[in-house]
């Protein structure tokens, strides 16, 4: 059974960056305005995330790594919303099957913090022979999750990964996306032992400032804002797009739908086509879009590892987003 669970977990957690994505979403779901990430060896040795969210009640610590255990059904009572956001209670459970997990957490009204250790979905003792009950300790309100030795027990998964520096770059890309999108939350990401952070954004910043923090002032100057509300198909779009080359290799495409980071290859292709009318061949722009679509209209049948989404009236919505983009680019390039 342990082996089956481990294989299933490896299907959900492919690499450090996607373990981190799940943990960032948990911090944001917990209302965090500060998310601090520390990484060692591309996340394979250590992936640590500290937030100032609501924390976890001591009595719930026994089930945070249990498969299909989620606390979010109460808060997000619309079932389609839950499914859309992927609230399945699978992330931490999966991680605990392929890594050593330590959770330290404190709720505001609790006199102290509590620390718990996990393996294979269950609480485990800090040391053999000790009780596996959570231990009281000092700590601030919020949650710290430490994931160590990711894939220590899945040689095939570990072999499939790139170098630590490549994995770290993927981690940074995830942090960049969430930092840009969540302007009320400050993000830092640094390598373990480093003095300076590789990402550092402020809370209560404007989206444009976050883009500047992440990518530098040059890009921020080039950006056009995109804002549109569409009553016929019940969606709205916000974001920033560049009117110039940004990347040497490919378009940088950051897409959030209902505040979840996702991919839509149909939308991406359509946007690339719009750009070919305005920018020279070989130009690779920066595109950040945030779409709000009725939750019930987003395809709920997606596998946790597949970021690709589909939604109702997809063609019409894409057409409408592209028309807005086209107008902005036309104005800017008269």
CB 273 within 8 A of CB 318: no
If the CB atoms of residues 76 and 278 are measured against ligand ADP, the closer one turns out to be 76
Three-class secondary structure of residue 196 per DSSP: coil
- Name the CA dihedral angle for 307, 291, 48, 117, rounded to a multiple of 10 degrees: -70
Task: Identify residues 21-60 at the interface with ligand ADP (CB under 6 A).
Answer: 22, 26-27, 30, 51, 53-54, 56
Cβ of residue 89: shortest distance to ligand ADP, in angstroms?
Answer: 4
Half-sphere exposure of 25 (CA within 13 A, CB side): 22
Cα–Cα distance list, 116 to 7, 100, 113, 124, 145 (Å): 24, 11, 10, 8, 10
| 145 in contact with Mg ion (CB under 5 A) | no
Task: Tell me how far apart the alpha carbons of residues 114 and 134 are, in angstroms, rounded to a whole number.
Answer: 6
Report how many residues bind ligand ADP under the rule CB under 6 A.
20
Look up tokens 């060896």; give the residue. 41
- Interface mask toward ligand ADP for 241-270; x: CB under 6 A: ------------------------------
Q: How far is CA 307 from CA 21, 28, 32, 87, in A?
A: 11, 18, 23, 14
- Binding pattern for the stretch 5-34 against Mg ion, x by CB under 5 A and - elsewhere: ---------------------x--------
Q: How far is the CB of 68 from ligand ADP (least distance, A)?
A: 9
- Of the residues 24, 35, 91, 174, which one makes contact with Mg ion according to CB under 5 A: 91
Chain contacts with Mg ion (rule: CB under 5 A): 26, 91
Q: Which residues lie near ligand ADP (CB under 6 A)?
A: 22, 26-27, 30, 51, 53-54, 56, 64, 70-72, 87-93, 143
């Amino acid at each position: 059974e342990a082996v089956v669970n481990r294989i299933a977990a490896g299907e959900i957690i492919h690499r450090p960056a996607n373990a981190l994505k799940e943990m960032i979403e948990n911090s944001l779901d917990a209302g965090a305005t500060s998310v601090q990430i520390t990484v060692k060896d591309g996340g394979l040795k250590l992936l640590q995330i500290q937030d100032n969210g609501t924390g976890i009640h001591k009595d719930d610590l026994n089930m945070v790594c249990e498969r299909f255990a989620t606390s979010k059904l109460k808060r997000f009572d619309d079932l389609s919303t839950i499914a859309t956001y992927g609230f399945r209670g699978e992330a931490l459970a999966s991680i605990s099957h392929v890594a050593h997990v330590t959770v330290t957490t404190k709720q505001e009204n609790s006199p102290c913090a509590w620390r718990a250790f996990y393996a294979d979905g269950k609480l485990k003792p800090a040391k053999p022979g000790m009780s596996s009950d959570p231990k009281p300790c000092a700590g601030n309100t919020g949650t710290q999750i430490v994931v160590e030795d990711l894939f220590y027990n899945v040689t095939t998964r570990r072999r499939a990964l790139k170098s630590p520096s490549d994995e770290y770059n993927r981690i940074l890309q995830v942090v960049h996306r969430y930092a840009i999108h969540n302007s009320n939350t400050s993000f830092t990401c640094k390598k373990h032992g480093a003095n300076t952070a590789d990402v550092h954004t402020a809370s209560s910043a404007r989206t444009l400032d976050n883009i500047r923090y992440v990518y530098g002032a040059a890009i921020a100057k080039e950006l056009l804002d995109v804002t549109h509300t569409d009553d016929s198909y019940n969606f709205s779009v916000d974001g920033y797009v560049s009117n110039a080359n940004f990347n040497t290799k490919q378009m940088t495409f950051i897409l959030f739908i209902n505040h979840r980071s996702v991919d839509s290859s149909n939308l991406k292709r359509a946007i690339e086509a719009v750009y070919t009318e305005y920018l020279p061949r070989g130009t690779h722009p920066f595109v950040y879009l945030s779409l709000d679509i009725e939750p019930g209209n987003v395809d709920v049948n997606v596998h946790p590892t597949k970021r690709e989404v589909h939604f109702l009236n997809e063609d019409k919505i894409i057409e409408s987003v592209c028309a807005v983009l086209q107008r902005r680019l036309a104005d800017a390039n008269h």
